Amino acid sequence: MKPARFFRSIRFRIAVWCSLAVAAVAIAALVGLRQTIRWTLTHEVDQALLEDGDEVGLVLTELGPEGLEAVADELGRKATGHRQHRWFVRLIADDDTIVWQSASAADSPALAGDGPLQTSGEYRLYGTDAPTNRVGVARMELGAWLAPLQDDLKRIDRTVVGATVLMLLLAPLCGYWLAGLATRDLAAITAQAARMRPSKLDERLPERGVGDELDRLAHTVNRLLDRIADFIEEKRNFLANAAHELRTPIAAIRSSAEVSLAADRTVGEYRELLEQIIEDSESLEVLVNQVLLLSEAVASQDATPRNTVDFSQVVSRAVDMFRGVAESRQIELHANIQPQVQVRGVRQHLVQVANNLIDNALKYTPEGGQATVELVATESGEARLEVVDSGIGIDPADVPRVFERFFRADRARQRCGQGGTGLGLSICQTIVDAHDGSIECRSTPGSGTQLEVRLPLAVPTNSA
Ligand code: ATP
Ligand code: MG
């Protein structure tokens, strides 16, 4: 890893934060411990001096009547007993002259300034008034050498410094190692993501199934990849189907042209072949237009500005446009259109929906049949367009598939001989979806089909 990348890595940053946190806690804990020990030891020395003060006071009152020698004997013995601590006592008269002091007191400092307990150089000193006595002692000073205690503290200091240095060395290493454990799976995900190819739609990130944050991230990305794969798959199928559908009219045009060139023909024959070519070109044009419309409807879902569209007018015009076709096929076309049903959307797309539904109703209804177009604004604030016919119907197994691109039920082709491209209803569904609406198909084979479109009203009728 390059140095710049290493310093930016999560692993490095976790290691640094972890080290800083461990170091701060460790230093605070060790310094706190050292101060507590220091305070405890000093407190113990002070307690001992206070108790010794009481004891010296007792010696003065009890042995005082026997004279200074008896007092000195007793205190001298005590001082000898505490020789290693250089314990001393000094008895002072009212006029600040020393009445008596233990041998070790000669080199020790005197009490200075305020406060009964003081530290002077290497000594801890305690001064207090003497109890009433017969040897003329007004005050007494006691002291003990602090060097052993300071040695203990120095040893503790050395341990504290050693432990702190060890912590400072170990914390980054441990932090780096722990951060490595934590980010190991992230590295695996990154490596797998880097290996993924757009051509392999089934590749996914590893999920360990432990349900942690990384698993949730991998799961979310995988679901996104699922949706992208479905989308690409759909596009591939669409392209393959479109190419397949285009082949038929192109092949027909080509064979008509080849037939016309194969031999000398009469003008009538040429005319017939050219008419055939024009007819095939027209179906080619219809197909290309529908493919374009479909891709435009998908692409412009968010881009095309929405206007308030008079859906009643759109549907009425579509019905009027198909009246001629209905008449020529001897189908009764009824319209029941509530006026002023307004929806928000793209007018030319909504025109396409109405046209496709009426076209199907007429195309898949045999002569003498009926088709009804009804448009109402419902109480629930929707525009409901229903196109019902008394035609050949759709097999129940095919009903869910009629919105698939290029789907044509065999039944329809066999019975009516009306070859469509199979894009009409999928165009309707794409447009209706883009308008936040819904489309449903209900059908009974042999007795008819009902297509129902629901779109949100631009202005609810109850408030209009
Ligand atoms: P086109 O792209 O020209 O509309 P199409 O009509 O075949 O072609 P769709 O409108 O998408 O395509 O319809 C898909 C299939 O659903 C039709 O081929 C037909 O089998 C069936 N279908 C649709 N509407 C009806 C209907 N009203 N009655 C019976 N079958 C229908
Ligand atoms: Mg159709």
What would the pLDDT profile of 63-114 be if each residue is shown by its tens digit?
888 888 888 898 999 988 888 888 999 999 988 888 898 888 877 787 777 7
- Sequence-distant (6+) residues with CB within 8 A of 347 are 307, 309, 314
Task: For CATH 3.30.565.10, list the domain ranges present in the chain.
Answer: 304-456
Architecture of domain 196-299: Orthogonal Bundle (1.10)
Reported confidence tier of residue 419, pLDDT bands at 50, 70, 90: low
Closest ligand 1 atom, residue 419 Cα: 7
pLDDT at res. 415: 46
Angle at 209 between CA 207 and CA 211, to 5 degrees: 105
Dump pLDDT digits (tens) for 277-287.
998 899 889 88
Going by their DSSP bridges, the two strands 123-129 and 117-120 should be labelled as: antiparallel
The residue whose C-alpha atom lies closest to atom 12 belonging to ligand 1 is: 422
Dump pLDDT digits (tens) for 9-58.
888 888 888 888 888 888 898 889 888 988 998 899 999 999 999 999 99
Closest ligand 1 atom, residue 409 Cα: 20
Dump pLDDT digits (tens) for 146-170.
888 888 888 888 988 888 888 888 8
- Sequence-distant (6+) residues with CB within 8 A of 342 are 308, 309, 310, 311, 383, 457, 458, 459
Task: For CATH 3.30.450, list the domain ranges present in the chain.
Answer: 3-153
* Domain boundaries 304-456, corresponding CATH code: 3.30.565.10
Topology of domain 3-153, CATH: Beta-Lactamase (3.30.450)
The alpha carbon of 357 and the centre of ligand 2 are apart by a number of angstroms equal to 7
Q: What is the mean pLDDT of residues 313-323?
A: 96
The alpha carbon of 360 and the centre of ligand 1 are apart by a number of angstroms equal to 6
**Residues whose beta carbon lies within 6 Å of some atom of ligand 1:** 290, 356, 360-361, 364, 389, 391-394, 402, 407-409, 412, 420-426, 449
Burial class of residue 27, CB neighbours in 10 A (0-12, 13-18, 19+): middle
- Which residues keep their CB under 5 angstroms from ion ligand 2? 360, 420, 424
pTM for the full model? 0.60
Dump pLDDT digits (tens) for 194-236.
998 888 888 888 888 888 888 899 999 999 999 999 888 888 8
Task: For CATH 1.10.287.130, list the domain ranges present in the chain.
Answer: 196-299
